[in-house]
Each structure stands twice: as structure tokens, then as C-alpha cells.
């Protein structure tokens, strides 16, 4: 165990000092991160968490219950020490040291108050951090994680779900997460790249070493190798790929493949392709100084007005506003 990291995680935060006295929840997020328009839960958007990175790490504040909330990103909860009780989509889940819960986009959960020794770590990441080469590696094992992440990637999940990983015996998961935490809290050169590289290693190790239990209200699965090929081509060749080229590669009729994609994913080929192009455009806008016009061409949009329209639909503002926020 990293003593410096352990000491940091056990220190009282400013929020914890208040909650320790009052045992009442204190909001620690900016107002623009929270959407309280839903009557039954709070929606946390990704505006605060992913401004400059794809992965966000935090320690859960102790001594007060955390209200029911949902979010539009993936969340991994790791029980660093002690234990806790979560209520996820109506299911009571009790975590003990070393246990992990992976929450899908749209999952709704609340937490009971943590005690002195209960250290819960939140690792948040956008689904674009899950590359399809990882899913390809997991496919042969028919793993629950593969099905979970495929449903997340394609938004084909009609009901929120989560995976509960129970620790059994010795595993490298603890070491991997400690490394991620150390790189995050004691940032050095290339820390962000190291954290991003460790994420798929963490997920694969969880599948290999832990006893997993998938929790969902729907039995729907998507583990079709044809769809994996389609999605992988979209991810890697988004600027040039077409429905015709993928159909030719798979030796499928173009219209049959189009209908199959719609049936399996709930979206058309064009919608999936635009989703990937917009993700890449947003990444280039926030991480480079390239002119917007060059980015539009680089990600494969031929019509500038069409791009601006789709971008505003997805992100709620124009590309220039995204760059100014950075």
C-alpha cells in the first residue's frame, strides 16, 4: 500500500468536516453540473468532470447519505477500505474492501453514509474511453463486461444496468487502481496518458480475477460479431468509412446491413457515424488549436452547416463555445 496515498485518502475534506458534525449531505459540485429538473433524482452532466480529461477520479465524502442521482457517463465505484451500502436502480448492494461496481450510463443510485474507515473511490469515464479493440479482446470470453460495454457503446440498453464485481483471493486490481490513484492525485509528466492506458487493463483484470454478477431489468444483449465489425470500422475509419464499404467487407447486401444495424443498435449507420465524428471533433476542439474549418474536414464532414447543426444538437452549443470553455 502506498502510505502517501493512504494518508491523503483518509484526511478529512472540507465537506467531510461539515458532514461529520451535521450528518447532513453537503453538495460539493458546481451548480452548472447539476440538473434538478427530474423529480425523483439529480442528473449529473459531464460539464464539470471532463473539461480537460477523459477520466475523473474522486473520493466519496463520508458521514452523510448521498441522494439519488444519475449521470450521462460511466462510473466505477471501488471500495478502497471498509464497506458501504449503495441502492442502484432499486437493488441494495453492499460493497466490502476490494469490491467494485461498474454503473452504466443512466443508472440511478444513492449511498448510505460512510464511516471513518469507509473509503469509496469514484472513477468516472466517458464511453469513448472504451475502445472497441478492448471489446474485441473480450468477445471470445463471452464476458458480462463485453455485453455491458457493447450495450453502452451502442446505446442499445433499454434499461439501466450495472455489474457487481466481488473480490475473491489475490488480484492485481488493487495494485492497478492504486497506480491510477497515485498518478491522479500526485500528477507527473504523462500521468493522464498512463491513467488512460490503465483503464482497459483494469477492466480486463476485473473480468479475469473477480466474480461478476450482472444486474439488469432487461435480458437484452448485443454480442454480435457483425455489429462489432461495423462499430470498429466506424471508430477507426470514421472520416472515410461508408455503409457501402462495410457491406462489401462483410459480403452483405447494403440494404440488409442497414436494416440490421438499425434493429441491433436502434440507430442508423449515419447516426452512429455522425456520433463518432462529433466525438472526434469535440476532442480536437478541446485539445488542439486547429481551426474549426480544418477539424470539420479532418473528421469527414463535407458540409459545414450540417456539422454545426449536428454539433449544436449534441452538445447544446457551437464549437467556438466549446473552445472558449476550455
Structural domains in the chain plus CATH codes: 3-216 (2.60.120.10), 225-325 (1.10.10.60)
Q: Give me the sign of the Cα torsion angle 147, 149, 153, 156.
A: positive
Average pLDDT, the chain: 84
pTM of the predicted model, to two decimals? Answer: 0.71
> Does the pLDDT value for residue 303 go beyond 90?
yes
Q: At what angle are helices 173-185 and 191-209 packed, to 10 degrees?
A: 160
According to the model, what pLDDT value does residue 286 have? Answer: 80
Lowest mean pLDDT: which of 25-29, 47-51, 265-269, 302-306?
47-51
Tell me what pLDDT residue 48 has: 61
pLDDT of residue 45: 63
Mean pLDDT of 294-302: 94
C-alpha cell at 16: 467531510
Cell of 140: 471470445
* Confidence grade of residue 276 (pLDDT, cut at 50, 70, 90): confident
Residue 114 near residue 120, CB atoms below 8 Å: yes
**Mean pLDDT value of segment 59-65:** 95
Using pLDDT thresholds of 50, 70 and 90, give the confidence band for residue 133: confident
Alpha carbon 236 to its chain's center: 19
- What DSSP letter does each residue of 91-157 carry, written as one string? EEEEEETT-EEEEPTT--EEEPPP-TT-EEEEEEE-GGGS-HHHHHHHHTTT-HHHHHHHHHHHT--
Looking at the predicted structure, is the pLDDT value of residue 116 above 70? yes
Residues whose CB is less than 8 angstroms from the CB of residue 265 and which lie 6 or more positions away in sequence, other chains included: 154, 155, 156, 222, 227, 272
131 pLDDT exceeds 50? yes
Query: How much of the chain, in percent, has pLDDT values that exceed 90?
Result: 43
* Per-residue model confidence (pLDDT) at position 211: 76
Q: What is the pLDDT of residues 5-54, one digit of tens each?
A: 999 999 999 999 999 999 999 987 777 666 666 556 666 666 666 666 67
- Residue 89's pLDDT band, with cuts at 50, 70 and 90, is confident
Q: Convert the pLDDT of each residue in 199-237 to its tens digit.
A: 889 988 888 888 776 665 444 444 567 887 888 888 889
Q: Could you read off the pLDDT of 137-160 as tens digits, one per residue?
A: 776 565 667 777 777 766 555 555
Q: What single string gives the DSSP state of each residue in 147-168? A: HHHHHHHHT--SS-EEEEEEP-
pLDDT in the model for residue 222 = 47
The pLDDT value given to residue 168: 80
Interatomic CA distance for residues 306 and 269, integer angstroms = 17
The pLDDT assigned to 192 comes to 84
Calpha distance 191→169 (Å, rounded)? 29
> 27-41, 173-187, 242-256: which range is least confident on average?
27-41
Amino acid at each position: 500500500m502506498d502510505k502517501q496515498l493512504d494518508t491523503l485518502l483518509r484526511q478529512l475534506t472540507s465537506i467531510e468536516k461539515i458532514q461529520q458534525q451535521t450528518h447532513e449531505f453537503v453538495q460539493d459540485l458546481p451548480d452548472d453540473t447539476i440538473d434538478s429538473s427530474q423529480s425523483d433524482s439529480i442528473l449529473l452532466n459531464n460539464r464539470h468532470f471532463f473539461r480537460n480529461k477523459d477520466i475523473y477520479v474522486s473520493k466519496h465524502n463520508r458521514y452523510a447519505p448521498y441522494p439519488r442521482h444519475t449521470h450521462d457517463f460511466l462510473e466505477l465505484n471501488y471500495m478502497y477500505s471498509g464497506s458501504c451500502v449503495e441502492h442502484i436502480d432499486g437493488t441494495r448492494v453492499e460493497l466490502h474492501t476490494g469490491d467494485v461496481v461498474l454503473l452504466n450510463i443512466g443508472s440511478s443510485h444513492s449511498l448510505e453514509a460512510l464511516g471513518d474507515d469507509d473509503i469509496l473511490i469514484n472513477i468516472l469515464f466517458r464511453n469513448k474511453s472504451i475502445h472497441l479493440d478492448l471489446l474485441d479482446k473480450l468477445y471470445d470470453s463471452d464476458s458480462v463486461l463485453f455485453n455491458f460495454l457493447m450495450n453502452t457503446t451502442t446505446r442499445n440498453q433499454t434499461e439501466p444496468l450495472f455489474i457487481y464485481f466481488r473480490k475473491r483471493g489475490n488480484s492485481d486490481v488493487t495494485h492497478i487502481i492504486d497506480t491510477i490513484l497515485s498518478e491522479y492525485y500526485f500528477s507527473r509528466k504523462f500521468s493522464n496518458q498512463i491513467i488512460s492506458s490503465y483503464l482497459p487493463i483494469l477492466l480486463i483484470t476485473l473480468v479475469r480475477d473477480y466474480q461478476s454478477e450482472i444486474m439488469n431489468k432487461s435480458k437484452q444483449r448485443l454480442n454480435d460479431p457483425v455489429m462489432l465489425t461495423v462499430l470498429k470500422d466506424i471508430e477507426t475509419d470514421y472520416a472515410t468509412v461508408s455503409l457501402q464499404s462495410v457491406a462489401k467487407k462483410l459480403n452483405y447486401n447494403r440494404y440488409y446491413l442497414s436494416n440490421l444495424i438499425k434493429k441491433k443498435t436502434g440507430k442508423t449507420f449515419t447516426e452512429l457515424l455522425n456520433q463518432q465524428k462529433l466525438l472526434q471533433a469535440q476532442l480536437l476542439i478541446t485539445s488542439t488549436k486547429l481551426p474549426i474549418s480544418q477539424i470539420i474536414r479532418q473528421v469527414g464532414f463535407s458540409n459545414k452547416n450540417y456539422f454545426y447543426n449536428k454539433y449544436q444538437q449534441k452538445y447544446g452549443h457551437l464549437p467556438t463555445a466549446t473552445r472558449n470553455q476550455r
